[in-house]
Structure 1
Amino acid sequence: MGNGLYLYGIFPAPGPTNLHLEGLDRQPVQAHAIDEFVFLYSEAQQERYLASRRNLLGHEKVLEQAMEKGYRTLLPLQFGLIIENWETVNQQLIVPQGQGLGELFNKLNGRREVGVKVFWDASAELEALLQEDQGLLAERNRLEGKSLSMDQVVQIGQAIEQAMANRKQSIIEVFQGTLNPLAIDVVENDAMTDAMIYNAAYLIPWDEETYFSQQVEALDQQFDERLRIRYNSFTAPFNFVQLN
């Protein structure tokens, strides 16, 4: 049988038919049912797949294309899962986790994941902060050109750092206050770059995405040129399928 089977995700039965999708290594994507679970898979051509950008995008593309074809309730599996045969899946996943999988299907039914990433320009924000906070600005100017003790350097550094943290937090709270009430569940992830100040995923009712995106657009306008917002309106619900 070669290298085994590469798994993409799980649907509730009866699951997808006639998908005609291309998976990793250009292999045709197929569906296999075990009890009330339908697995999306292709034949693995490698013993393990490197998490390259191409492979990761290929994995996600299969899931997104299946969702686009109308199979919306989907548990995406983590990248790189290869199994020897279906008996392994039964023993390692369905028998121990079957009930949890069923509960996740209920949670995801009629819902979708969207994501918001917020970026700022730290140096512009610092300048704005110093213009707004005359005390800090005066302190910084008073100390400029003098030979400072280490304590003075640390003090003003900490004061600026704290003020910047407060500034960041006040932006985040506007996003939370606007978007969290629209979501059934919210997951806040770590920022991936220094410029990114907020990174959240939202589980929302499938047909309320238009309204949600309008609120993101309104936030973008509210902050004018201050922030860059990346909004992902369509993605497999990776953030909401953690099995305990």
Structure 2
Amino acid sequence: MQGLDEQPVQAHNIDGFVFLYSEAQQKRYLSSRKNLLGHERVLEQAMESGYRTLLPLQFGLVIHDWESVREQLTVPKENDLKQLFAKLEGYREVSVKVLWDQSSELEQLMQENAALQAERDRLEGKNLSMDQIVKIGQAIERAIAARKQAIIGAIQETLNPLAIEVIENDPLGEDMIYNTAYLIPWDTEPHFSEQVEALDRQFDSRLRIRYNHLTAPFNFAQLS
């Protein structure tokens, strides 16, 4: 495997913990898309090669000597690290990101909600007071929020029972409505994937579902 700057990935054992690393060619590395993908690719290749249980370190971490790793990590955090390894043994992280088109959702909302559409059409072209603007805006906002929650509820009902732990992250961008990581048994991923595909068919072209079936457990490998 190759790390950043096309340096070979090596392994180093400290106190029974094996670290994957490559020699840094720069004093610090920018969190660019290229660098982040290179970092994640090494972790994914390691898992695909059979090292299923690993703890990802923060991107861009550069050390000068291994003794500092012992002093700051493996010795003071030995028990915490072992507990994390035990927790993750036999499990993998997968993620689901759900996006929709807000304009299309609003248009579909109006088609399905005759009363709301009639109210909007009645006020269209008129000089509205601030109260009228706020009232119709709040009504549309509540209806959109209800549509969003219905989608999220369907996803939670389908996928959450398949995971032993679920972490909901903040959406990235205005079009993303759901951003969630799941910790699932390693060998049940094919069934989990089938359920994601079923959700995709259920909502047809209304949603874009991005599913990552293999990623390092960034969300579930947090030291306290």
State the TM-score bracket (shorter-chain normalisation).
over 0.9
Corresponding residue for residue 219 of structure 1? 199
Distance in 2 of aligned mates of 1:36 and 1:135: 67
* 1:82 corresponds to 2:62: yes
Deviation at 1:31, TM superposition (A): 0.6
What is residue 114 of structure 2 aligned with on the other side?
134
Q: 1:185 aligns with which of 145, 151, 165?
A: 165
- AA matched with 2:72: Q
The 2-side partners of 1:38 and 1:212 are apart by: 30
Following superposition of structure 1 onto structure 2, how do residues 3-82 of structure 1 map, counting pairs within 5 Å?
21-82=1-62
Matched, 1:228 2:208: yes
Alignment gaps of 5+ in structure 1: 1-20
The structure showing larger relative contact order (alpha-carbon pairs under 8 Å, at least 6 residues apart) is 2
Q: Distance in 1 between matches of 2:161 and 2:207?
A: 22
**2:77 is matched with which residue?**
97
For the residue of structure 2 that corresponds to 1:200, the secondary structure is strand
> TM-score, normalised to structure 2's length?
0.98
2:126 paired with 1:152: no
Letter in 1 for 2:38: G
Which structure: greater strand fraction? Answer: 1
Deviations 1:122-176, CA, capped at 9 Å, x for gaps? 1111111112222211110110111111110111011101110111011001001
Letter in 2 for 1:102: K
Alpha-carbon deviation of 1:198? 0.5
Following the alignment from structure 2 to structure 1, what is the Cα–Cα distance between the partners of residues 61 and 55? Answer: 14
State the percentage of identical aligned residues: 71
Tell me the SS of whatever aligns to 1:219: helix
- Which one of the candidate residues 92, 95, 104 is aligned to 1:124? 104
Offset at residue 185 of structure 1 (A): 0.8
Residues in 1 aligned to 2:205 and 2:40: alpha-carbon distance in whole angstroms: 32
TM norm structure 1: 0.90
CA distance in 2, matches of 1:84, 1:129: 58
Cα distance in structure 2, aligned partners of 1:68 and 1:234: 9
1:114 lines up with 2:94 in the alignment: yes
- The AA in structure 1 aligned to 2:31 is A
1:103-137 alpha-carbon deviations (Å, 9 max, x no partner):
11011111111111111111111111112222211
RMSD: 0.9
Structure-1 separation of matches of 2:44 and 2:86: 19
* Paired position in structure 1 for 2:189: 209
Q: Give secondary structure in 1 for the equivalent of 2:170.
A: coil
| One-letter identity of the residue aligned with 2:43 | L
Any idea what SS the aligned residue of 1:229 has? strand
Query: What displacement does 1:28 show?
Result: 1.1
> Structure 2: which 5+ residue stretches go unaligned?
none
**CA distance in structure 1 between the aligned counterparts of 2:153 and 2:8, rounded to whole angstroms:** 45
